[in-house]
Structure 1
Amino acid sequence: SMSLPTCSMIDISLSDNGVFVMCMKNGKANALGKEFMAELQQAVHFASNEDRVKGVLLKSASPKIFCGGLDLGQISSFVSSDDPVGNFREFIFDFLAGCCKSLLNCPKPVAACVNGHCLAGGLVLALSTDYIAWGPGDHIKVGLTELAVPVPFPPLPMAVVSTRVSPPVARKLMFDAYVTSPKEMFSMGVGESYSDTPEANAIAWLEKKISMGVVPFGISKKLWWKNVTNNEPTAAEQMEWTKSTVAALMPTSSL
């Protein structure tokens, strides 16, 4: 029998209908640190390559937070390290972009059940799936902002947002760091459903895709993301973005 990947920060299960459930449980906020993003990639790669998996459900074990964004503790440790540029480049381009790319490249339908705060890199993660099911709550914050560290948008996250959301909304989210409730996000055209039962909605959507056949879906999905996945920044472009970003984060540094 096939064994599921062992992860310490994600609970993984496979239901009889072929839905591979990834329940994130990394601390209070599911902060996107290197180890957690490596586990997310590993789990998604498994789902992509395992025939018994027909669809993927991404959700959070926390009733309050889907994902609070990048691990700011790790980012500040890079900034004060011996090689801030190298460490930050790896974090953004290998780990964050790698994590998002694993979802974009997954040939199966992926749904996110978002029933808590979904911020910054957490929203990029959700937008890298095929279907966002928002849960209710006017107190819930959704948006692309990282107030403590004003990190400029990396290339892949910007491409993901621009491909998933209409241009005026994408600009408002990225350039104004607009934060609002799931209900208003949905009314702006971000995400695919809004209800009191987001997990049931996400599973119903996955089951519908599964009944229609996931192979055609995967072929269409690959084409949808082709311009993003085929336009990876070169090593020089990665370094240029990282150097200017690190310089902006630490104006006193001598790079």
Structure 2
Amino acid sequence: MSYHLLEIERRDKGVTWIHINNPPANAIGYELMQELEEAVGELTDDKATRVVVIASKHPKIFLAGADLKGMMMTSGEAVEDDNFIEKESARMQACFQRFAEMPKPVIAAINGYALGGGCELALACDFRIMGSGKIGLTEVSLGLIPGAGGTQRMTRILGRAMAMELIFFGKKLEAKEAEALGLIHSAVPSEQFEEVVTAFAEELATGAVHAMGLAKRAINATEKGLEEGLKVEAQAFADTFLSDEPSIGLAAFFQKQKANFLEGY
């Protein structure tokens, strides 16, 4: 599949990198959302892809927020549609949700500013590794609110009190600050950034990726309440036996060896 604003790079052990390249500022617009949706579909179906890393080609920006100028210009042309802005927000939410539901581990490799929509995309990923730049939901400083899932995901990750503080004050956190709060999983020096992300992604890729995807489905179901979550977990547990991973893992366990889930990959 051909992309204009994304670069898809397949690396060792089934790790696929999505590089966002939308100059000048890597802002989120209609075309970028469309390509991200297409990439999710392609890599979900790609059996050779075991782990996805979302990164940026911009030297200082992971992903900027929505193209507000373009959105306002378009909204002026769409005055007959009273729900235009709401629909645009829902479109971004749905786009990022595809990564949250992707049945494979997804890593946000943040080596630059991830403010507003960039933070929201990172929050939709399973892991966030950060080098340089700052991260935060800064929309309130513009008289707006996060509109691509940020209010929901940050609250679930950090809790109501901390989410309100960060969102209301529009705080921009450096990597170490974000790591201390639990907003990101790891803060690493910029000069070691790609090396660390690669090692982390490859370690995931050598594991039982099918089981990880099913565990992810069950973890996501916690939002539906305990009863429904337990039902999803039971079905996901049964679904683990639809792959070769249990036989590989159990055989290695009884032989007192480390399981090689890349076998046959």
TM-score past 0.5 threshold: yes
Larger radius of gyration: 2
What is aligned with 2:221? 226
* Count of aligned positions: 222
After superposition, the C-alpha distances for 1:123-158 in whole angstroms (9 at most, x for unaligned) are 01011111111103xxx3321013674222347332
Match of 1:208 in 2: 203
Q: Give the equivalent residue in structure 2 for 1:124.
A: 120
Deviation of 1:44 (Å): 1.4
Q: Percent identity?
A: 26
What is the TM-score of this pair, normalised by structure 1? 0.80
User: How far apart, CA to CA, are the structure 2 residues paired with 1:188 and 1:64?
Assistant: 23
C-alpha distance in structure 1 between counterparts of 2:30 and 2:224, whole Å: 21
Equivalent residues of 1:55, 1:110 under 8 A apart: yes
Corresponding residue of 1:88 = 85
User: Relative CO higher for 1 or 2, CA cutoff 8 Å, sep ≥ 6?
Assistant: 1
- Would you identify which runs of 4 or more consecutive aligned residues in structure 1 move more than 4 Å? 227-230
SS at match of 1:21: strand
Going from structure 1 to structure 2, the CA distance change for 1:97 and 1:228 (only over 3 Å counts) comes to: farther
Q: Which runs of 5+ in 1 are unaligned?
A: 231-255
Amino acid at match of 2:219: W
Verify the 8 A CA contact 1:142 1:179 in the aligned structure 2: yes
* Paired residue type of 1:30: N
How do residues 46-125 of structure 1 correspond to structure 2 at under 5 angstroms? 46-81=42-77, 82-83=79-80, 85-94=82-91, 96-125=92-121
Worse-matched range after superposition: 149-158 or 69-78: 149-158
For 1:25 and 1:115, the matched residues in 2 are separated by: 14
| 1:228–1:38 CA distance, 2 compared to 1 (3 A) | farther
User: Could you list the runs of 5+ residues in structure 2 that have no partner in the other structure?
Assistant: 226-265
> What's 1:44 paired with?
40
SS in 2 for 1:73: helix
Counterpart of 2:235 in structure 1 is none
Q: Is the 8 A contact 2:137 2:150 kept in 1?
A: no
Q: Deviations over 1:192-243 (max 9, x none)?
A: 111112222222222222212111111111122225589xxxxxxxxxxxxx
Provide TM-score, normalisation by structure 2: 0.77
Shift, 1:104, TM fit: 0.7
The 8 Å contact of residues 69 and 121 in structure 1, kept in 2 or not, is answered as: yes
- Whether contact under 8 Å (2:106, 2:126) holds in the other structure is yes
Q: Which has the higher helix share?
A: 2
Q: Cα gap change, 1:187/1:65 in structure 2, threshold over 3 Å: closer, same or farther?
A: same
1:113 is displaced (CA, Å) by 1.1
